[in-house]
Structure formats: C-alpha cells, structure tokens
Amino acid sequence: MSFRPTHFLSDLNLPMDFFPIRRVQVSVYYDHTRKHWVNRGKTMMISPGRLFLWILCISLPMTTCVLAAESEFSKNLSIAESSENGLRDRIVAMHYLGISGEVQALKPMLAILINEKEEDAIRCGAVRALVDLDQGRPQVLSAFEQVYQQQGAGENLRYTILFSLGRMRAGESLPLLSDALSDPDEMIRFKASQALGRVGTEASTALLMSHLNEEQDRMVRAEMVRALEGTKDAEVRKKLIQTLLTDPSSLVRWNAALMLEKLEPLSQDTRSAMAPALNDVSPMVRKTVKGILQ
C-alpha cells in the first residue's frame, strides 16, 4: 500500500495549534494521481507543528531509500570481494558497483584488478567496473598500465584494458598504445587501433597513420583505417586515398572508401584522385566510390 503523508496527518487529527507558534503559509500539495508534490498556486494555513510532521513524513521514505541503497551497495561489495562466491555472481556485483558511481567502490575494484591471484575473468570485470565508475582517473589509468605489463596478464585481460583505454579516451596512455601497435599479437594491435580511434587526438591519429603502411595483417589495417573516421585533416584524406588506390587487400580499400565517404563534401582534387578506384577489381570498392563521385 502506498504511503500518503496527507492521510497520515489527517488520521492524527492534531489541533491546529499543535506546537503553538504563529502559523505559516505553504502552497504545495501531494497529488496522489501523479505521485508527487506540486504547487497548486493557492495557499493554506498550517501550524508549524503540522508542517514539521509533514516534512518528517516526506523525509522518512527518502531516508529509507538511501538506507536500502547503502545496504545494496554493501551487499554487492561483499560478493565482489569474496573469492568464495561464484564467477558470475562476482562479475554481476562488480558491474553494480561500477554503475553505482560510488567513490567507495574505487579502492576495492583496484585491489581486485591488481591481485594476480584472481582469475582473469574477475580482473576483466574489475576493469569494466572501474571504467563505469568514472572515479579516480589517474589511479585507474596507472593500474591499467601496471596490470597490462604484468608477465602473468592473459590475452583477454590485456584486450579488455586496451578497449577500456579507448572508452576512457585516455590520451595519457598513448605510450602504452603506441607500444601495443608493435605487439606480435595481431589482436593486441587490433584493439590498440580501436582505442586510438576512440582517443581521437592529433597524436593518436599520427600514430595510426605512421603504422598503417607497416602493418602486415589486413584486419588490423582495416581497423586502423576505420579508426581514422571523422578526421578531416588533409593529411588523413591523402592517406585514405593512398590506401584506397594501393592497399593489396580489398577489405582495406573498401574501408578506406567508406571513410572517405564520411568526409564529404570532398574537394574536386580529392574526387579526381579517387577516380582510378572506379576500376577496382572489388565490386564493393567500385560501388562505394561510384556513389561518392556521382
């Protein structure tokens, strides 16, 4: 049954001179249909005693909600921290702590992340929770870089950290992302390219362009090209045109055409430079370039 402060006060049947002080005017009332307090534009006389009880009745449910939230936070913190709980339960609890935005979750999540005895799946959950938490950015980035460089860090954990650096648009971590572009693992290079695209600074763009010609894996090159999306710099356009006309992979050439399409309107010089791609061996490249030049 819903709690109605006005009914509660009526049931008390208190005299108007309860806590006898001069009366005060209020101009709000509780709308039970709309479930909130509204200004009626009219005034009524009420003794301070009744007003005190009215405010008390409003604040009690709010206090109850706060206490319930604190209880839920404590419960999830306990689940997340205990290695005796199941993998899924701990990850769900960490997700709750992350989206709670409560700064009290920062230290426990960092402790789980840097604990090398924890399973990688749990540590990945801590990474995601810390990004969602959006608190203590310097400590979080420092912990991400520390864990990424640990000898025992598994592939999935490193992938998750790189992806999360992109989510955070962590320009502070460009040295780590630059090193990742030269990693022997093509998936690390792929995730680093994704992250650099999300960072979206001139420095991150320059890193992508400098590694594009050196990259041997076509999937990574395609991701590097996609990561340049929305960059209107003239040098980027030149690089995309060069890739469109010379890259050995049709997938990469097609992605270059798609990124150029998103840069429209293009200058006449740029459009003329793209024209040879109308004869590309890939029908997808030809179709995309034709759509741009028409």
pLDDT tens digits, one per residue of 95-150: 999 999 999 999 999 999 999 999 999 999 999 999 999 999 999 999 999 999 99
Q: Are both 117 and 147 inside the same structural domain? A: yes
pLDDT at 2: 45
Q: Are both 158 and 177 inside the same structural domain? A: no
Q: Are both 113 and 91 inside the same structural domain? A: yes
Burial of 114 (0-12, 13-18, 19+ CB in 10 A): middle
Q: Are both 87 and 154 inside the same structural domain? A: yes
Dihedral-angle region of residue 106 (phi above 0 means left; psi in -120 to 50 means alpha; beta otherwise): alpha
128 domain residue, yes or no: yes
Q: Are both 163 and 86 inside the same structural domain? A: yes
Task: Compute CA 217 distance to the chain's CA centroid, rounded to the nearest angstrom.
Answer: 29
Q: Are both 183 and 154 inside the same structural domain? A: no
Q: For residue 275, give its domain range.
A: 228-294
What is the token pair recorded at 34? 């709309």
What is the token pair recorded at 281? 């061996």
220 domain residue, yes or no: no
Residue 263 phi, psi dihedral angles, 5° rounding: -95, 0
221 domain residue, yes or no: no
75 domain residue, yes or no: no
pLDDT at 193: 97
8 domain residue, yes or no: yes
Q: Are both 94 and 35 inside the same structural domain? A: no
218 domain residue, yes or no: no
Q: Are both 105 and 30 inside the same structural domain? A: no
Q: What is the pTM of this model?
A: 0.75
26 domain residue, yes or no: yes
pLDDT at 43: 47
Cα→Cα distances 148→53, 158, 216, Å: 57, 5, 24
pLDDT at 60: 58
The SS3 call for residue 23 is coil
Low pLDDT (below 70) residues in the chain: 1-70
Q: Are both 109 and 36 inside the same structural domain? A: no
Q: How many domains does the chain have?
A: 4
What is the token pair recorded at 200? 């979206």
Integer Cα distance of 287 and 193 in angstroms: 27
Q: Are both 53 and 104 inside the same structural domain? A: no
76 domain residue, yes or no: no
Out of 48, 70, 92, pick the residue that ends a domain. Answer: 70
Q: Are both 265 and 206 inside the same structural domain? A: no
Contact 225, 212 (CB under 8 A): yes
